Amino acid sequence: MRMYSYIILFGLFGAANCKHQPELALADTSGTTFCLEIAGDSLCEYQWGSPPPAYGNEILPEPTIHYSCPSVNPNNPDQLVCFKQNFNWPPESSIITYDMGTKIENVLFTFSGLIHGNLSWGKKNWIAFTTGQGIIRIFKSDGSGNHQIVEHSDMNFFSGTGPEWSPSGDHLYYHTVYVNTPNGVICDTSGVVFSYSPIINRPDWNKNNILVGADGWLLSTLDLNTNEKIDFAQWYPVNEADAVSFIEWLPNNHHAIFCKDKGLFRVDTKTGEILQLKENCITKKYKALSVSNEGNFILCEKIVGKQTGPNTAVERSEIWKMDINGCNEVRVLPKE
């Protein structure tokens, strides 16, 4: 297994969307070129307010609006669904859809308190919603048809980041919560169980009925046709921040994109070769992602920060859009 294997190409590929270092580009062993924006680039200097970022001893949530867990509409790449969290007192959470073309925000549901959960938009226009308590509900993108399909699952932002829709949008994959009989479960939109399979964490489902997932520092695929699970990449962690928080297939069904605190990465699921597309820095960390159905861009939930005093700093979650190579990064939400 080769880790972080790449070639630096001078001149020939330098103009290929390399925003901050136009004289350099990266290519993997197949000849596909990518950009690498290292820590310290202009995006690392990004902040939403003054004074300049220089972290102190204490980092706290900002009492303001946070946007998290984006999922792109597979039928319309201009649209996304996400959580909108209001940390002001009393705190509340909303599920919203947002059109990146018209910049219109539509609030579907509002809840009291803060929710740690996940959202997944399926091909049949159903959106799956999970909470930290393991409840799974689904609803149409206009908010209609809202109903619970699973009461107790092991899918939430902290362990599962699921459930995950099948490519057709007819079925969901999720985990059972029962310790003695852990299973991966595939159900329909009414919650009726279709089949059982081994468990794979943080799943994404491709058109070949193969799930890709990550369990901490281990990347795996699960073939739902045969129930064969293959571990294709692993590394030894420096700390908990080195664990994968989200992973999704690219449309070629051969590579996947994943993120963790250390940045954004592309991995070959056949060879385990990993290419780092983006590094983090003190004012930006990647937490969740969603790849457009056509593979033209990536949406990321990014944690950004600012200094508020000699020994304090605050953070908030924002949603950013970039091209499939990790370049040309622009903020989507919040709009201001």
DSSP 261: T
Q: Considering the domain boundaries, does residue 112 fall inside one?
A: yes
Contact 138, 129 (CB under 8 A): yes
Domain residues for 114? 7-333
Q: Considering the domain boundaries, does residue 198 fall inside one?
A: yes
Neighbours of 168 (CB within 10 A): 11
Contact 36, 23 (CB under 8 A): no
Q: Considering the domain boundaries, does residue 232 fall inside one?
A: yes
Q: Say if strands 92-99 and 105-112 run parallel, antiparallel, or are unpaired.
A: antiparallel
DSSP 53: -
Q: Considering the domain boundaries, does residue 183 fall inside one?
A: yes
Q: Dihedral of CA 119/117/317/114: which sign?
A: positive
Query: Of 15, 7, 118, 34, nearest to 69 (Cα)?
Result: 118
How far, in whole angstroms, is CA 173 from its chain's centroid? 17
For 127, the enclosing helix (H) or strand (E) is strand 126-130
Q: Considering the domain boundaries, does residue 2 fall inside one?
A: no
Q: Considering the domain boundaries, does residue 1 fall inside one?
A: no
240 phi, psi to nearest 5 deg: -60, -30
Contact 329, 318 (CB under 8 A): no
Q: Considering the domain boundaries, does residue 299 fall inside one?
A: yes
Token code pair at residue 330: 């622009």
Indicate the number of domains in the chain: 1
**pLDDT of the chain, 336 residues: tens digit per residue:** 333 333 333 233 333 444 444 444 444 445 555 444 443 344 455 554 444 444 445 555 556 899 999 999 999 999 999 999 988 888 899 999 999 999 999 999 998 887 777 889 999 999 998 876 678 889 999 999 999 888 776 655 444 567 899 999 999 998 876 656 678 889 999 989 999 899 898 999 999 999 999 998 999 999 999 999 999 999 987 777 788 989 999 999 999 999 987 789 999 999 999 988 887 766 678 889 999 998 899 999 988 877 666 666 778 899 999 988 888 888 999 987
Q: Which residues are bridge partners to 328 per DSSP?
A: none
CATH number at residue 269: 2.120.10.30
Q: Considering the domain boundaries, does residue 106 fall inside one?
A: yes
pTM over cut 0.85: no
